Each structure stands twice: as C-alpha cells, then as structure tokens.
C-alpha cells in the first residue's frame, strides 16, 4: 500500500489515478456529509417549489418539462437517502441558503411577469436553469470527492443524478431556443406598437 499520509498545503493535492482508498479523514468526511445534507434539503425543497413553477408557466411544453423534472427530483431525494445509508449516516437535511435564495428569486420573477405571457416563460426558464446549474456544480464536485474518498458506490449514485441535472438543463435551453425567447421578443414588439 502506498504511503497515504496527508501532506498539508502546497502539494497536498493528489493526482488522479490512485487505486487504493486513502485513510479516512474525519474532517473531510464531515464536510462531505454536511454537503450531502445541504443538497438533500435543496432537493426536498425543490419537490415543493417545482409544481409552483409548473403552474406559473405559460406554455404546455415548459409545464411538461417541469413536471418531468419534478418526478426526477423525487428520485434524486431517494438517491440521496441511499447515499446516507451507504455511508452509514443518518438521513438528515440542513438548510441550503443558496437554494432558498434561488427559489426566492424565482418567485419574484413570477410576481414581476404577466400571467400567460411568454416573458413569464423566459423568466421561469432562467430561474430553473440557475437552479440546475447550482445542482450540477454540487453533484459534480461531490461525485468527484466521493471518488477521491474511495466511496465508489456513492460516486456512482451522485453521477447518475448529475447526468439527469445536465439533461434537464439542456432541455430547458432547447425549449428557450425553440421559440420561447423569440416569442417573448415579439410580445415586446407588439406591446410597443400599441
């Protein structure tokens, strides 16, 4: 077994490709589990916020995409519960200030755009993509950390969710490009002519 003693600062970072799990680092393990609690809170919060976003959306296409992602989000919640179990930790949520803030902003966007307008959908898409990007950053870094810490099974689950978040983000971009942005732009032009 190679020497796995931790070197502090400077050259502490290991290059990829080490085959054996490093010695458990209690501080890092705690940080990792805290991060899981944070994203667990965020996902649970999202399962309640997404249906509201869905209702606020104008087009059927966007509503459907959000509905599908709500089902996926429920899956993400139970996947995280599996992660806690694999780590032998209690399933626990810890308030995620970032997600709370993103969703508050999303509420404001809905309040500030007209019901039934295409601008509303542009706003909902922007808000939803901000949420997706937060999740992509979280799952991406936590999956990588799980691998480094030797939790391959956990990394696999986190990567599965990561891929679904990326897909959801891509779909939102497609919906925006396939006319919603353009139609919102036309909506503005029509208003100016009045």
Q: Which residues bind Fe ion (CB under 5 A)?
A: 73, 76
CA distances from 18 to 2, 3, 32 (A): 9, 11, 20
In whole angstroms, the minimum distance from the beta carbon of 45 to Fe ion comes to 11
In whole angstroms, the minimum distance from the beta carbon of 65 to Fe ion comes to 14
For Fe ion, which is the closer residue by CB, 32 or 139?
139
In whole angstroms, the minimum distance from the beta carbon of 28 to Fe ion comes to 24
Residue nearest to Fe ion (CB): 76
For Fe ion, which is the closer residue by CB, 54 or 58?
54
For Fe ion, which is the closer residue by CB, 70 or 113?
70
In whole angstroms, the minimum distance from the beta carbon of 114 to Fe ion comes to 29
For Fe ion, which is the closer residue by CB, 62 or 158?
158
In whole angstroms, the minimum distance from the beta carbon of 63 to Fe ion comes to 18
d(CA 174, CA 93): 33
CA gyration radius for the chain? 20
For Fe ion, which is the closer residue by CB, 44 or 76?
76
């Amino acid at each position: 077994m190679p020497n796995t003693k931790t070197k502090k600062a400077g050259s502490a970072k290991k290059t990829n490709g080490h085959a054996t799990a490093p010695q458990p680092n209690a501080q890092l393990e705690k940080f990792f589990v805290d991060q899981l609690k944070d994203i667990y809170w965020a996902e649970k919060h999202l399962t309640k916020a997404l249906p509201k976003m869905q209702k606020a959306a104008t087009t059927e296409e966007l509503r459907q995409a959000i509905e599908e992602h709500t089902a996926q989000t429920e899956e993400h919640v139970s996947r995280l519960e599996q992660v806690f179990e694999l780590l032998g930790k209690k399933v626990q949520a810890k308030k995620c200030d970032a997600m709370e803030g993103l969703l508050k902003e999303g509420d404001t966007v809905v309040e500030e755009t007209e019901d039934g307008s295409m601008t509303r959908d542009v706003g909902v898409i922007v808000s939803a993509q901000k949420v997706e990007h937060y999740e992509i950053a979280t799952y991406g870094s936590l999956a990588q950390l799980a691998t480094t810490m030797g939790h391959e099974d956990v990394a696999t689950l986190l990567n599965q969710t990561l891929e679904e978040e990326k897909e959801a983000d891509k779909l939102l971009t497609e919906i925006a490009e396939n006319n919603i942005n353009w139609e919102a732009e036309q909506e503005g032009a029509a208003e100016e002519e009045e």
